Amino acid sequence: MSTDYKRIIRDGIWDNNVVFAQGLALCPTLAVTSTATNGLGMGLATTAVLVISNLLVSSIRNWVSPAVRIPVYITLIATLVTLVDMALNAWVHELYKVLGLFIALIVVNCAILGRAESFASKNTMIPSALDGLMMGLGFTLALVILGGVREVMGSGTLFASASLLLGKSFAFMELTLIPNYKGFLLMILPPGGFMALGFLLAGKRILDARAATARERKAKEADLALGEAV
């Protein structure tokens, strides 16, 4: 049976987005997204774990007994998270200090174990790697959007301190969108995260409903045209 790669990409980025569709990983989503830079760093770290864990689970799926598969998957994920934690500490230490405990908590991110169990354990390595990449990019996109909304409304900037947290090569991302803005503190605090996430979830539901309506209209028009042709 052929693999629907387009479906995998669409599911990861939009239809089955970790945050906006599944409602998973909300703890780091709300905790680290006071800026878009923090969201980007957390998202990329999680993406790395997702891709490699899916690859490893897919490669050993026929060798692991179903009775012990969950402990084995968690051990693999914990090992990968430890390596990512050490890498961030070594190469982007400022970002490591900002993200803090939430890097280690990637181990208990339901999305990672969920993709290992529901997809990687049932598919070959290439589709599994793509699934991990798309789910990770979808998660990263959600964090960056949420962090960007909170940062712009809270302080009038976008990707503030990117050069400090991610490296000097990211300095071009630092933008001041609203000069002399005094800030809206609520959006940077935890209640602002809940509010922004709620509005973003509502926006996605509206877009999905409009897309479904458009598809139904096109289907009816096609059926009508076919009937007239017959």
Q: Where are the alpha helices (DSSP H) in the chain?
A: 5-10, 26-31, 36-60, 69-91, 93-99, 101-104, 110-118, 125-155, 162-166, 185-188, 190-229
Q: What is the pLDDT of residue 133?
A: 97
Q: What is the pLDDT of residue 177?
A: 93
Which one, of 141, 183, 140, lies nearest residue 160 by Cα? 183
Q: What is the DSSP string of 18-63?
A: TTTTT---HHHHHHSTTSHHHHHHHHHHHHHHHHHHHHHHHHHTTT
> Would you state the structure tokens that stand for residue 187, as one six-digit string?
């959006």
Q: What is the pLDDT of residue 230?
A: 62
Distance CA 160, CA 166 (A): 11
Each residue's pLDDT tens digit in the chain (230 positions)? 468 899 999 999 999 999 999 999 998 899 999 999 999 999 999 999 999 999 999 999 999 998 899 999 999 999 999 999 999 999 999 999 989 889 998 998 889 999 999 999 999 999 999 999 999 999 999 999 999 999 999 999 999 999 988 888 889 999 999 998 988 999 999 899 999 999 999 999 999 999 999 999 998 888 788 777 76
Which one, of 8, 23, 30, 2, lies nearest residue 137 by Cα? 8
Q: What is the pLDDT of residue 221?
A: 84
Q: What is the pLDDT of residue 108?
A: 86
Do 96 and 164 contact (CB within 8 A), yes or no? no
Q: What is the pLDDT of residue 182?
A: 87
pTM: 0.93
